[in-house]
Structure 1
Amino acid sequence: MTISYSWLRRYLNFDPAVVTPTLVSEILTRTGLEVEGMEEIESIKGGLKGVVIGKVLTCEQHPDADRLKVTTVDVGGDEPINIVCGAPNVAAGQYVPVATIGAVLYPGGGEEALKIKKGKIRGSVSEGMICAEDELGMGVSHDGILVLEETTVGTPAAEYFNIENDIVFEIGLTPNRTDALGHYGVARDLRAGLLRDGIETQLSLPSVVAFTPEHKERPFKLTIEDTEGCPQFYGVTLTDVKVGESPSWLKNALLSIGLQPVNNIVDVTNFVLHETGHPLHAYDGDKVANDHLLVRTLPKGTKFITLDEKERTLDASDLMIADSNGGKCIAGVFGGLDSGVSNGTTTVFLEAAWFNPVRIRKTAKRHALNTDASFRYERGVDPALTEYALKRAALLMCEVAGAKIGSDIVSEVTQKFEEPQIHLSYKRINALLGQAIPREDILSILDSLEFRIIGENGDALHVAVPLYRWDVTREADVVEEILRIFGFDNIEFPEGMRMNLPHNEPRHPDDLRRLAASTLAGIGLSEIMNNSLTKRSYYEDNTDFPIENCVDILNPLSQDLGVMRMTLLLGGLETIAYNRNRQQKTIRAFEFGNVYRKNESEKYSENKRLGIWVSGPRQAAHWSTPSTDSSFFTLKGIVEAFLGRFNLNFFYKTLGENGVLADGLELNVQGRAVGTLGYVSRKYMKMCDIDEVVFYADIDWDMLVTMITRSVVKYADLPKTFAVQRDLALLVDTSVQYADLEKIAKRTEKKWLKEVDLFDVYEGKNLPEGKKSYGLRFTILDAEKTLNDKQLDQTMAKIQSALEREFQAELR
């Protein structure tokens, strides 16, 4: 939200020498309207430096170009200058804006600069440029040069057009602060903050007491058929309207907040929108059949052309403003092409209404329309300002467009908005804040925010909440309003803090997820977050993730966002492809995310999973060591370090038939399969256009969380003795896995065997066919006493015998 310092001064009578832009920024930020940026701007980019008012002395046809004129222009210098001009309306005797040599213009208010240089056009010298409105950045018209009223030649254009400098604040709003979507709402908070700092100032909206119909010859009729969608509608007719250019003050105000002026009627509606936060809409009254508007819905499939000249297909729930011939406006979202104000408009019907936020939000999303009006309506505007906004805009149109108020206000109100009332106590306020605040300060803050004190009885306080704060519904919400004005920094820190430590309280899943993410990041992985919406094409003709199990999106924004993902794998592969295409080859990433599935009975399931991806070099080339590629064991080591952080016992099984992984292992924790890890199959690599090997682990995080919460940490004293290591070189069948040997060894000797490690694997020359050699190291320890040789020999003999019996292992 862009807020202008000059606009704020329209509603607050402060001294700019005291209330500086820097102070305004500080106060707004500490009261909850965080100022994310502050910039000095000119209402017209470049400030029209080098542009002066000139008078065209002569205007002759260019000898070598039918569409060009050769002019001499007096710009207040010693001699007139020659300018070649292509505008059809240039003529002798006109007063015009002239960009002299060296001037820099920003046509259309854009970023691209146009520097004026001396040159020749078709052989004729041109020493400047006579400017059109859009070339000056003052509007959009390029029909011809801007012809001005008679004035002093040589006057700087910035002075003639009253160009102003301003400071604008970029405010980051939270969704609940719809009251700050207009300058008046921001000014209200600023005043409350200033009063807290001891700076007295008055807050006021411009008066509308002058609103009086000059005649009642053109009353419009209004009918609301859909009262749930529109419980409040006000309108008034304006006659004798002269649509044209807005005065300088209005154009400058809009330009300061980044809006391009259009015409005086549209500019007024935009001005009042950004002043009060309440949208308005102006209709060409002569295009409304029988001067009768209806608020209703139209049949599903009805075609409607909006102001951007695009045809929309309406839904049966879209709220419309219509007449007997059809739709005129998508209510609260966007106007219709055939009812908009044009240069020929002489009668305007002005609308100010309150629309159901949910209905507006659904319609705006359905048609992919995000307008200034819908942005506010879908968050909820202040119903107390609806009639005021209408009167304010009508009076401004009388001022800038010569309009006359041609009717009483026509209105239909089917729901009256009552201020919510909340009971609270000073004791409770102080308890929530953590310190006592003087009663006078509390009452002053509430009054500055327009909270009405209905009653006060001892410690009890009865407060009416203003309608602009629809989100304040509880006692704690009122206390928060007091606190943000009182100042979070003004709450004193106690000298000591007391707290109770929970005993045997299970950790929250969110805490476990943060710990898991921190662990993986510490190992060297980067966390990624991919969209839960993905391409439908990924699951077509896919036996691993059948298309019939996909959760479809009813109203997808694009074909690439048509279904909910059934696996994290493809999003991670897209991330790898994106990075590899930008020469980032070493990828180590993880993601926590939900996957979605629909079963045969049309029931939906949602499961949180953890994906881990490894690809590219494990170690970059260095003079001391060569580059090494990541391998399956790189991924396996990451998974094991991660599980070790949570003290989980695990083992692997040979991976069964699996279309996702070409080869790998099944991960088992506490006797249950929780995931897989291995090489991604070529089918999925091809989908994402990756030609490098990718290793992937897919873990059921929801299942793992339940196991972590059941896991019991056991503590033991450090051993008093030293461990002993013994090695065995065993000849086994090639089908035997190391994990099988480790499992049997630990099952055979549970008391003293602490670790089993594989330190060598050999296959090939000098070994019988179908055989391989494993070098195993056994760590044996009795924590209480030293084992003698006899005990060690008996232990090793027992382990060797078990391995020979189970796997026909031979000692080499």
Structure 2
Amino acid sequence: MNVTYNWLKEFVDFDLTPDQLADLLTMLGLEVEGMEKLGEGMDDVVVAVVEEKRQHPNADKLSLCRVNSGTEVLDVVCGAQNFKQGDTVALAKIGATLPGDFKIKRSKIRGEESCGMLCSEKELGLSAESAGIMVLPAGLKLGTPIFAALGLKDTLLEIGLTPNRADCLSAVGIAREIAAKLGQKIRCPENAIKESDEPVDKNISVTVEDAEYCPRYAARYLSGCRIAPSPEWLVKRLNAIGVRSINNVVDVTNLVMMELGQPLHAFDCDRLAGQRIVVRRAGEGERFTTLDSQQRTLTGDDLVICDAERPVALAGVMGGENSEIADTTTNILLESAWFLPSAIRKTSKRLGLHTESSHRFERGVDIGGVIHALDRAASLIMELAGGQVAKGSLDVYLGRREPETIIFRPERANAMIGIDLPREEAIGILKRLECAVKELPEGALAVVPPSYRIDLEREIDLVEEIARLNGFDHIPATLPLARVVSDRPTRHQQLEKSVRDILVKHGMNEIINFSFTAPGAADKLLLPVDDSRRSTIRLANPLVDEQSVMRTTLLPGVLETVARNISFRSLDLKLFEMRRVYLPVPGEEMPHEPLYVVGALTGSRDGLGWSRANEAVDFYDAKGIIENLLNQLSIGGVKWVADAPEPFYHPGKSCSIVAGRERIGSVGELHPTVQDNFGLDKPVYCFELDFEKMLTLARQKRTISAPSRFPDSTRDIAMLAPVELPVEKIVECIHSVKAKEVEQVDIFDVYQGKGIPDGFKSIAVRIRYRSYERTLTDDETGRVHGKIVDSLLNKVKVSIR
């Protein structure tokens, strides 16, 4: 909310400086976020008079002027032609600095010396455009700084309001706060309407069909008005708070809105079919063109203001082109109403149309001030545009309710705030807030807030008002009482931290994405139509469509992060995210929220360096990280199953991870189509792990054995195996012999090509033998090794090379 220092002084008396006023408002909870001192640093731009104006001897479009500033007479070269000798003008003297850091210096223009500059409104920052220099009213004292002479020297206060303080979205509302704090009386604008003898209902009628969305609608009829530019005082007032002047009638509605907080709208009554107003819900798909020339498609949840035939305004948001005030308008229907805040908020948000009017209606205006604002606007329009005001107003007030009474206990307020405020002072504060206070026999107070304080609903709200008005700085500082307790992390938390630590030790960086994603994320991942991850929970009020559903997998967010980093030339990435996903449960209100771990690797394995090979990461980097993770969590019996890959992986370069009988995740290279869907131009290797399943499989305690002190021996086996035989089957076959002497099995060579029959591959295995009891002899090692060879020949049907 923007308001000026001088404007506030019109409503309440105070002797605070602008800086002191800003401190007072901030301590009242109305934070002053910015201050702009209008005219500050412009004292070198003064009132002057043109004593002589003649043609520049060396330029056809320039004039040479002698200008009297009251203390000296200066020669100034000027290019404008909209003034004459004897006019009062704004003179920027040498050394003055104009908006835009434009400094005035002594200069020569076409051979003639210029000792200053005659200024336009645009050059002084008073308007966006100007046709020439600023010609001032005669009689101003020469040498007076221009902003002081015109009464423009002021301070603009930019006040940040919390959504509950809708009453302060007006100059009068902020003045009320100042008056309540200082114990002053507020001066509200008075209305001076001279009504004609013709009754208002002879010219217009109002019908409200939706009392829920519009409990109160009031209107006045003005005839014989003349649309013209607004007077200077009104233009200055609106410009000072950042509102553009349009014409005298529209400017009045804007002024009253900023002054009283009640949005108003003026219709050209002659353009209203039947000179009638009907307030109703829009039809589904009904179209309407607003004042910004945009055609809007409405829904049944939108409230519209109609004439006898069609919509003429989008209630509480914006008027329509078909009824706007034009230069030819003479008869006006002036609207003042109260609309349901939630209804206006939905319409404004759905259409992306936020206005000063909707901003106030969304938060709630004063339903008791509808008529006062209507009469204030009508009196100003009659003063500025002439014409007559019909007798009376149409006030359709449906569902009138009595104000709520709040039971307030002063001693309870003192206990909660931590002060000892006398009862009389608490009552005084409530009365300064214009609350009606009645003492009850049991010592409590019956308090009825004013209609404009819609935020006062409960006793705790009144407690806050006592704290605010008494002063937050009067609340003593105390240390809270608290017990020191030991908070031991659960097993779930311990394991969660362990997983993060292990992944970070592998050079991975944790990322955090929003829990929301786009509805089309499942399509990007090529998930089948019957995949349960396509069933999502839609947000009731999403900010954007790209974040309108709760995620069922972390992968889209991780891949978008990878793409974003690559676009910023971060090419070597090892990222992981460990967060919850949200899976709907049929028949349940709340979803299942398991914890998942998803990682992505791309680019160089070790980064650039003169001594590094600069090799790219591959499938086995991702697989190795998972193997190490599962090993450190003591999850055994892990198998890598390649026959059921996820659809978002490359079919030949991915596998599922199975521990015991549980599928705990997957790993693989991203499918080329998925890669394209996320804008990735190089291979990305990903893994996905179900943390909740890992939690059930991880052992509480790890068994660590001391290494054998006896020497080892190794034997190699080279074999031919069918191409389709997984190497894992060979390793399982070796371990199935259950020889305690076998310490380690390693695959150290896999080859296909020249010298190997088609459909076969050469595999070389190295087996390390060692005993914990003694040094093994060659015969002992040979017997175990022979059993292993026999098992390979019989069980997996390989041939020894």
Q: Which residue of 2 aligns with 1:497?
A: 482
Q: Which residue of 2 aligns with 1:270?
A: 254
Q: 2:573 aligns with which of 587, 600, 603?
A: 587
Q: Which amino acid in structure 2 is aligned with residue 582 of structure 1?
A: F
**Partner SS state of residue 497, structure 1:** coil
Residue by residue, what CA displacement relative to the aligned partner does 1:248-276 show, whole Å, maximum 9, x if unpaired? 66545544443334444434433433344
Q: Which amino acid in structure 1 is aligned with residue 648 of structure 2?
A: V
Q: Could you say if the C-alpha distance between residues 201 and 147 of structure 1 is closer, same or farther in structure 2, counting changes exceeding 3 Å?
A: same
Q: 2:284, 2:692 → 1: CA distance?
A: 47
Q: TM-score, normalised by structure 1?
A: 0.73
Task: Give the greater-gyration-radius structure (CA).
Answer: 2
The answer (yes or no) to whether the contact 2:526–2:647 under 8 Å persists in 1 is no
Residue by residue, what CA displacement relative to the aligned partner does 1:62-121 show, whole Å, maximum 9, x if unpaired? 9999xx7868574646355443337xx666765555667887665xxxxx7777899999
**Partner SS state of residue 85, structure 1:** coil
Q: Which residue of 1 aligns with 2:677?
A: 687
Q: Which amino acid in structure 2 is aligned with residue 688 of structure 1?
A: F
Does residue 676 (structure 1) correspond to residue 666 (structure 2)? The answer is yes
Q: Could you say if the C-alpha distance between residues 179 and 789 of structure 1 is closer, same or farther in structure 2, counting changes exceeding 3 Å?
A: farther
Q: Which amino acid in structure 2 is aligned with residue 333 of structure 1?
A: V
**Partner SS state of residue 215, structure 1:** strand
Q: 2:761 aligns with which of 765, 770, 775?
A: 770
Q: 1:756, 1:180 → 2: CA distance?
A: 79
Does residue 366 (structure 1) correspond to residue 350 (structure 2)? The answer is yes
Q: Which residue of 2 aligns with 1:41?
A: 36
The answer (yes or no) to whether the contact 1:166–1:256 under 8 Å persists in 2 is no
**Partner SS state of residue 608, structure 2:** coil
Q: Which residue of 1 aligns with 2:188?
A: 206
Q: Which residue of 1 aligns with 2:196?
A: 215
- Structure 2, unmatched stretches of 5+, are none
Q: Could you say if the C-alpha distance between residues 684 and 545 of structure 1 is closer, same or farther in structure 2, counting changes exceeding 3 Å?
A: farther
The answer (yes or no) to whether the contact 2:62–2:77 under 8 Å persists in 1 is no
CA apart distance, 1:319: 1.8
Superposition RMSD on alpha carbons, in Å?
A: 5.9
Deviates more, 1:357-366 or 1:617-626: 617-626
Instruction: Kindly report which structure 2 residues correspond to 1:280-679, keeping only aligned pairs within 5 A, or say none.
Output: 280-289=264-273, 291-343=275-327, 345-397=329-381, 405-423=389-407, 433=416, 438=421, 440=423, 453-456=437-440, 458=442, 462-464=446-448, 467-468=451-452, 470=454, 487=472, 490=475, 493-494=478-479, 496-498=481-483, 524-529=508-513, 532=516, 534=518, 539=523, 544=528, 568-590=554-576, 592=579, 611-622=598-609, 629-632=616-619, 634-636=621-623, 651-655=638-642, 656-662=644-650, 663-668=653-658, 671-679=661-669
The answer (yes or no) to whether the contact 1:667–1:676 under 8 Å persists in 2 is yes
Q: 1:739, 1:580 → 2: CA distance?
A: 39
Q: Could you say if the C-alpha distance between residues 22 and 408 of structure 1 is closer, same or farther in structure 2, counting changes exceeding 3 Å?
A: closer
CA apart distance, 1:438: 4.9
Deviates more, 1:457-466 or 1:581-590: 457-466
The answer (yes or no) to whether the contact 2:59–2:110 under 8 Å persists in 1 is yes
CA apart distance, 1:413: 0.6
Q: Which residue of 2 aligns with 1:233?
A: 217
Q: 1:140, 1:21 → 2: CA distance?
A: 30
Q: 1:338, 1:394 → 2: CA distance?
A: 22
The answer (yes or no) to whether the contact 1:72–1:80 under 8 Å persists in 2 is yes
Q: 2:554, 2:251 → 1: CA distance?
A: 49
The answer (yes or no) to whether the contact 2:179–2:186 under 8 Å persists in 1 is no
- Structure 1, unmatched stretches of 5+, are 107-111, 781-786
Q: Could you say if the C-alpha distance between residues 99 and 297 of structure 1 is closer, same or farther in structure 2, counting changes exceeding 3 Å?
A: farther
Q: Could you say if the C-alpha distance between residues 760 and 222 of structure 1 is closer, same or farther in structure 2, counting changes exceeding 3 Å?
A: same
Residue by residue, what CA displacement relative to the aligned partner does 1:743-795 show, whole Å, maximum 9, x if unpaired? 9969969xx99x99888744459999734456688999xxxxxx754999999
Q: Which amino acid in structure 2 is aligned with residue 653 of structure 1?
A: W
**Partner SS state of residue 349, structure 2:** helix
Q: 2:767, 2:437 → 1: CA distance?
A: 81
Q: 1:531, 1:633 → 2: CA distance?
A: 30
The answer (yes or no) to whether the contact 2:38–2:156 under 8 Å persists in 1 is no
Residue by residue, what CA displacement relative to the aligned partner does 1:372-394 show, whole Å, maximum 9, x if unpaired? 11122223333233333334444
Q: Could you say if the C-alpha distance between residues 616 and 190 of structure 1 is closer, same or farther in structure 2, counting changes exceeding 3 Å?
A: farther
Q: Which residue of 2 aligns with 1:109?
A: none
Q: Which residue of 2 aligns with 1:85?
A: 80
Q: Could you say if the C-alpha distance between residues 437 and 224 of structure 1 is closer, same or farther in structure 2, counting changes exceeding 3 Å?
A: same
Q: 1:143, 1:283 → 2: CA distance?
A: 32
The answer (yes or no) to whether the contact 1:5–1:167 under 8 Å persists in 2 is yes
Q: 2:634, 2:476 → 1: CA distance?
A: 42
Q: Which amino acid in structure 2 is aligned with residue 693 of structure 1?
A: P
The answer (yes or no) to whether the contact 1:182–1:274 under 8 Å persists in 2 is yes
Q: Could you say if the C-alpha distance between residues 47 and 170 of structure 1 is closer, same or farther in structure 2, counting changes exceeding 3 Å?
A: farther
Q: Which amino acid in structure 2 is aligned with residue 575 of structure 1?
A: T
Q: Which amino acid in structure 2 is aligned with residue 677 of structure 1?
A: V
CA apart distance, 1:360: 1.5
Q: 2:301, 2:95 → 1: CA distance?
A: 57
CA apart distance, 1:369: 1.0
Q: Which amino acid in structure 1 is aligned with residue 291 of structure 2?
A: L
Does residue 150 (structure 1) correspond to residue 141 (structure 2)? The answer is no
The answer (yes or no) to whether the contact 2:664–2:694 under 8 Å persists in 1 is no
Q: Could you say if the C-alpha distance between residues 359 and 134 of structure 1 is closer, same or farther in structure 2, counting changes exceeding 3 Å?
A: farther
Q: Could you say if the C-alpha distance between residues 736 and 297 of structure 1 is closer, same or farther in structure 2, counting changes exceeding 3 Å?
A: closer
The answer (yes or no) to whether the contact 1:238–1:403 under 8 Å persists in 2 is yes
Instruction: Kindly report which structure 2 residues correspond to 1:117-156, keeping only aligned pairs within 5 A, or say none.
Output: 133-134=121-122, 136-140=124-128, 142=130, 147-152=135-140, 156=145
Q: 1:299, 1:654 → 2: CA distance?
A: 57
Instruction: Kindly report which structure 2 residues correspond to 1:747-758, keeping only aligned pairs within 5 A, or say none.
Output: none
Q: 1:288, 1:748 → 2: CA distance?
A: 95
**Partner SS state of residue 196, structure 2:** coil
Q: 1:489, 1:515 → 2: CA distance?
A: 48
Residue by residue, what CA displacement relative to the aligned partner does 1:400-426 show, whole Å, maximum 9, x if unpaired? 666765542321110224434455667
Does residue 23 (structure 1) correspond to residue 23 (structure 2)? The answer is yes
Q: Which residue of 2 aligns with 1:784?
A: none
Q: 1:589, 1:14 → 2: CA distance?
A: 60
Q: 1:539, 1:664 → 2: CA distance?
A: 20
The answer (yes or no) to whether the contact 2:75–2:113 under 8 Å persists in 1 is no
Q: Could you say if the C-alpha distance between residues 767 and 145 of structure 1 is closer, same or farther in structure 2, counting changes exceeding 3 Å?
A: same
Residue by residue, what CA displacement relative to the aligned partner does 1:573-606 show, whole Å, maximum 9, x if unpaired? 343333322222233444547578999x9x9999
Q: 2:91, 2:228 → 1: CA distance?
A: 22
Residue by residue, what CA displacement relative to the aligned partner does 1:430-464 show, whole Å, maximum 9, x if unpaired? 78x49676563765665565565555454756554
Q: 2:152 aligns with which of 134, 156, 163?
A: 163
Q: Which amino acid in structure 1 is aligned with residue 184 of structure 2?
A: Q
Q: 2:699, 2:54 → 1: CA distance?
A: 95
